[in-house]
Amino acid sequence: MSGLLAWSAVTALASSHPIGQLSPQSWAVGAVLATGAALLPDLDHPGSTISRTFGALSSGLSAGINALSSFVYRTTRLKRDSKRDGGHRGLTHTLVFALFSAVFTAAVIQNSQKWALPVLMFVFAGLAVRGIMNDWCPKQDALLITVVSAGITWAMIAWTSQTDASAAACGIAVGVGCFAHYIGDAITEQGCPILWPIPIMGKTWFPVAPPKIMRMRTGGVVEMAIVGPVVTILSIWLGLAALQGTGALPFLDWVDLLPV
Contact criterion met (CB below 8 Å) for 111 and 235: no
Q: What pLDDT does 252 receive?
A: 44
Contact criterion met (CB below 8 Å) for 242 and 27: yes
Q: What pLDDT does 56 receive?
A: 79
Contact criterion met (CB below 8 Å) for 39 and 127: yes
The angle subtended at Cα 223 by Cα 196 and Cα 61, nearest 5°, is 50
Sign, CA dihedral 134-135-138-144, equals negative
Instruction: For residue 200, list its beta bridge partners.
Output: 203
- The mean pLDDT values, 10 residues at a time, for the chain of 260 residues are 86 68 80 89 82 78 91 92 86 94 91 79 78 56 66 69 74 94 88 91 90 69 66 71 56 45
Number of other CB atoms surrounding residue 113 within 10 Å: 15
- C-alpha 26/C-alpha 156 separation (Å) is 10
Q: What pLDDT does 145 receive?
A: 65
| Half-sphere exposure at residue 253, Cβ-oriented, CA atoms within 13 angstroms | 0
Q: What pLDDT does 51 receive?
A: 77
Instruction: For residue 188, list its beta bridge partners.
Output: 216
